[in-house]
Amino acid sequence: MFGDDLRIIYKNDPAAKGLQPFLYPGLHALVLHRYFSHPLYKMRLLFLARLVSEIGRFLTGIEIHPGAKLGKGLFIDHGAGIVIGETAEVGENCILFQRVTLGGTGKHAGKRHPTVGNNVLIGTSATLLGPITVGDNVKIGAETVIIMHDVPSNSTVVGAPGRMVKLNGQRVDQKLPRTQDP
């Protein structure tokens, strides 16, 4: 899987040349999560899992809770300030830019962080809070804020609060559907 993470960097980053991607903090954060903190979390070695996670945050500036589930092909570009919460799930072939937050609202127990589908791009400083669902093939613009609203597949969302501006390739201007409380 390390090779897959490296290939995704070369595929998605035109600046990735030679051995430079080996220096990328996004790659370091994913390796620490995939091979150390998440397996320790699944073995219920919670302190060790969190310790590895905190070391990773210190080294990379990227905070990924050991319980988060990350799909293949995740590309973290300029990852400083990214936060991915404990019950967050990120699908395959997604791109996260710096300062993205996949967090909770503090009002939920159990599943309290976003579930992100496949082929999703989340722009710089976007904030997604609560047990929301982001469908497949979604683009979320920079500085977009989505709190307790689901995002349908094949859409583009921008603004604070987030508004859908594209759905299935057609221009729209509509509010996002409210998430049902679990």
Q: What is the pLDDT along the chain (182 residues), one digit of tens a residue?
A: 678 899 999 999 999 999 999 999 999 999 999 999 999 999 999 999 999 999 999 999 999 999 999 999 999 999 999 999 999 999 999 999 999 999 999 888 899 999 999 999 999 999 999 999 999 999 999 999 999 999 999 999 999 999 999 999 999 998 888 876 65
Residue 20 lies in a domain: yes
| Domain containing residue 170 | 2-175
Instruction: In whole angstroms, give the CA distance from residue 7 to residue 3.
Output: 6
How far apart, in Å, are the Cα atoms of 20 and each of 23, 60, 96, 154? 6, 15, 19, 33
For strand 83-84 and strand 63-64, is the pairing parallel, antiparallel, or unpaired? parallel
For residue 84, the domain's CATH number is: 2.160.10.10
Nearest 5 degrees, angle CA 34-CA 4-CA 125? 65
pTM of the predicted model as reported, rounded to 2 decimal places: 0.94
Query: Considering its fold, how many domains does the chain have in total?
Result: 1
CB 62 within 8 A of CB 44: no
Residue 181 domain flag? no
Q: Is residue 119 part of a domain?
A: yes
In the chain, the amino acid numbered 151 is: V
Residue 180 lies in a domain: no
